[in-house]
Structure 1
Amino acid sequence: MSELVGPVEVVGTGLLGTSVALACRRAGLEVLLTDVSAEHVRTAAAVGAGRPRDPDDRPELVVVAVPPAHLGAAIADALRASDAVVTDVGSVKAGLHAQVLRAVGPALATRYVGSHPMAGSERSGPLAASYALFDGRPWAITPHEGNSAETVALVEELVDLCGAVAVRFTPEEHDRAVARTSHVPHLLASLVAARLAEAPAQHLALSGQGVRDVTRVAAGDPALYGQIVTANAEAVLGLLHEVRGQLDSLISAISEEDGDALAGVLLQGVAGTRAIPGKHGGPVRPTASVFVSVPDEPGVLARLFAAAGEADVNVEDVRIDHDLGRAVGLVELVVDDARGDHLQESLESQGWVTHR
């Protein structure tokens, strides 16, 4: 693998760009900051992400982290401005690569390698950035035929020093993958959330953790996500047509009281949840849930986790559902299936109120 020695230029000092810059600084690299917003550059520099780029600087690698609508032009500008390898953090790749190729021609485009870290936050801007944002996260790399092995290896080195896990795709396969795992789920979450916007307060009083789980991503920036979905229209539309067909089948099954057809749709959903990779990317393992009633007060979660530790039980996952009418929460501790009964007995012996 090529060794990335820097400097690294980051174009766009928002959440992702500044997080990349902070990770590079953590690795000891010099980082140059560029943004149309001088205030963002000053803020990113103030949090230790690097320094403003000078005209005489010669970066080894340029990471373009601007909004989707401006990515193609910014990548083309970076390729023309120096002989550096250029990558980006955009969430759509095939159309972007074609746009760059048209803008600069095949010779310059050999230095462009698309990439896409699967990490983010509901927050935005340089103050929301973290050097640890990408730790353990998948980061797609989408080489094209014109790239040399050394060029691709340099981008893989960036991914590695950011703490992420590189996954190679063709640009087209990447776009189909993110349509399936990110873009279409976001759109469907928005449709579900929209049914809540004008719902009577009496209906909303029944809101539980399930509806929060289904609608969480719908709170994202509509303008940004609109750009992303539009850029990946072909892959998104193909899946939406499939969903529309399934929705028609679901409506028919319910209206005709066809229990077998309805069960078939629901079983497909179960199969889909089981297809999602488990902990650390491994196979899904059987788990058990222990529900614990806890008061909403400082330190209670620390005491609960300590109690689970005293029971010698590793907590695989945790979810919290808050009572609407009381200052009490219901904490769901997800543990290995074989340890569920033991954890419940141990917690109850320590005075916790639990159920399975």
Structure 2
Amino acid sequence: MCVLGLGLIGGSVMRAAKAAGREVFGYNRSVDGVEAARFDGYDATHSVTDVLKRAAETDALIVLAVPVPALSTMLGHIGDAAPRCALTDVTSVKAAVLHTVQDHGLAERFVGGHPMAGTAHSGWAASDRRMFVGAPWVISVDDHVDPGVWVQVMHLALDCGAVVVPARSDEHDAAAAAISHLPHLLAEALAATAGDVPLAFALAAGSFRDGTRVAATAPDLVRAMCEANSEQLRGALDRAIDLLSSAREHLAAGQPVTDLVEAGHAARMRYDSFDRPEIMTVTVGAENWRDELAAAGRAGGVIRSALPVLGSRG
């Protein structure tokens, strides 16, 4: 397996894959990041030419873990050096990545992925082999997806300790806008608002700390994920702004903000009790397998152990 980008998520994938017994090697643009990975006993290089040559020779699964702005350049290198390798990614947007992969003629061997895990820290030093244990790992089931590549990505996610959530790219992006990208912008707004109040930081405790945790994320990373999912995020922002504007109007009129508070509380309670049934009966490669997995994921289903594969005796 070949990991391109050894930051927080790529580094954690590398650590988790090696801990699971996989042969894994990787690339990082930063020499310091490469040296840090090597110091910890990992096989890393800062030569993209060398790492992709090795990936092609070993028919490795390539994991794209570079920032969104660097994807096109990296895909160009892959197209030149390792176009037949199975390919996945760990990016927080799926439709934009798929379109970029298609532009480079690599969609046939590509299955999008997104582990829903992370911290506000970045770089190899922040990576953790247990980062994905119990976390949802979205794997795309778009119409083009090859079952053999999909199974490889499924096994990677399971080896890393995650539970697999199958989803179509556009549906993933709509959900990610609501539960990931919007919270980043709300955290930034909350932190900026408090920063304008002289006494605020002196009084800040749990609510402020928890509500602004992701505002500590590197600004370039936040911009990249939000801007890459602009269309879906605008809709989520519109909904949040409508709710907050209504609450403001109620407060200005001396009326209670019952609607927003109770709706938010009820939604949080549904989340706390949300059931994740195990997906067990779908056979990868069978007729309509992609549609069946998308529907199961939409209903909250997850894959906790490897699904059967059409034509496989295992």
TM score, norm. by length of structure 1: 0.71
Distance between the aligned counterparts of 1:112 and 1:73, measured in 2? 16
Q: Work out whether 1:264 is the aligned partner of 2:222.
A: no
Distance between the aligned counterparts of 1:218 and 1:38, measured in 2? 27
Q: Which has the higher strand share?
A: 1
- What SS class does the counterpart of residue 181 from structure 1 fall into? helix
Aligned to 1:96: 97
- What SS class does the counterpart of residue 33 from structure 1 fall into? strand
User: Which structure's relative contact order is higher, taking Cα pairs within 8 Å and 6+ residues apart?
Assistant: 2
Structure 1 contact 31–51 (Cα < 8 Å) conserved = no
Aligned to 1:46: 39
Q: C-alpha offsets along residues 286-333 of structure 1, whole Å, 9 cap, x if unaligned?
A: xxxxxxxxxxxxxxxxxxxxxxxxxxxxxxxxxxxxxxxxxxxxxxxx
Q: C-alpha offsets along residues 102-122 of structure 1, whole Å, 9 cap, x if unaligned?
A: 222xxx311011101111122
Q: Which protein is bigger by CA-based radius of gyration?
A: 1
Aligned to 2:299: none
Q: Work out whether 1:113 is the aligned partner of 2:111.
A: yes
Q: CA deviation at 1:204?
A: 3.4
Structure 2 contact 190–212 (Cα < 8 Å) conserved = yes
Q: Work out whether 1:66 is the aligned partner of 2:66.
A: yes
Q: What is the identity, as a one-letter code, of the residue corresponding to 2:60?
A: E
Q: What is the identity, as a one-letter code, of the residue corresponding to 2:267?
A: G
Q: 1:41 to 1:143 in 2, by over 3 A?
A: farther
Q: C-alpha offsets along residues 173-213 of structure 1, whole Å, 9 cap, x if unaligned?
A: 00001101011111111111111213213x43332312222
Aligned to 1:174: 172
Q: 1:279 to 1:245 in 2, by over 3 A?
A: closer
Residues paired across the two proteins, number: 269
Structure 1 contact 62–78 (Cα < 8 Å) conserved = no
Distance between the aligned counterparts of 1:280 and 1:48, measured in 2? 40
Structure 1 contact 184–236 (Cα < 8 Å) conserved = yes
Structure 2 contact 79–104 (Cα < 8 Å) conserved = no
CA RMSD of aligned residues (A): 1.9
Q: 1:269 to 1:279 in 2, by over 3 A?
A: closer
Q: CA deviation at 1:150?
A: 1.1
Distance between the aligned counterparts of 2:32 and 2:193, measured in 1? 39
Q: CA deviation at 1:38?
A: 2.8
Q: Which runs of 5+ in 2 are unaligned?
A: 278-314
Structure 2 contact 20–159 (Cα < 8 Å) conserved = yes
Distance between the aligned counterparts of 1:81 and 1:18, measured in 2? 23
Distance between the aligned counterparts of 1:244 and 1:19, measured in 2? 35
Q: C-alpha offsets along residues 32-53 of structure 1, whole Å, 9 cap, x if unaligned?
A: 2112223322221221232435
Q: Work out whether 1:253 is the aligned partner of 2:250.
A: yes
Q: CA deviation at 1:79?
A: 4.3
Q: 1:180 to 1:118 in 2, by over 3 A?
A: same
- What SS class does the counterpart of residue 48 from structure 1 fall into? coil
Q: 1:28 to 1:128 in 2, by over 3 A?
A: same
Distance between the aligned counterparts of 1:249 and 1:98, measured in 2? 37
Structure 1 contact 136–165 (Cα < 8 Å) conserved = yes
- Aligned partner (choices 208, 211, 225) of residue 208 of structure 2: 211
Distance between the aligned counterparts of 1:122 and 1:247, measured in 2? 26
- What SS class does the counterpart of residue 276 from structure 1 fall into? helix
Q: CA deviation at 1:250?
A: 1.0
* Percent of aligned pairs sharing the same letter: 34
Q: 1:268 to 1:21 in 2, by over 3 A?
A: same
Distance between the aligned counterparts of 1:265 and 1:128, measured in 2? 37
After TM superposition, the structure 1 stretch with the greater mean CA deviation from structure 2, 114-123 or 175-184, is: 114-123
Q: Which runs of 5+ in 1 are unaligned?
A: 1-7, 283-356
Q: Work out whether 1:242 is the aligned partner of 2:239.
A: yes
Q: 1:148 to 1:122 in 2, by over 3 A?
A: same
Aligned to 1:318: none
Distance between the aligned counterparts of 1:125 and 1:253, measured in 2? 45
Q: C-alpha offsets along residues 200-259 of structure 1, whole Å, 9 cap, x if unaligned?
A: 13x433323122222222121111101110000001101111122222211111111223
Distance between the aligned counterparts of 1:143 and 1:73, measured in 2? 25
After TM superposition, the structure 1 stretch with the greater mean CA deviation from structure 2, 91-100 or 50-59, is: 50-59
Q: Which runs of structure 2 are paired with 1:1-356 in the superposition (5 Å)? A: 8-52=1-45, 53=50, 55-56=53-54, 57-82=57-82, 83-104=84-105, 108-201=106-199, 203-259=200-256, 262-278=257-273
Q: 1:133 to 1:163 in 2, by over 3 A?
A: same
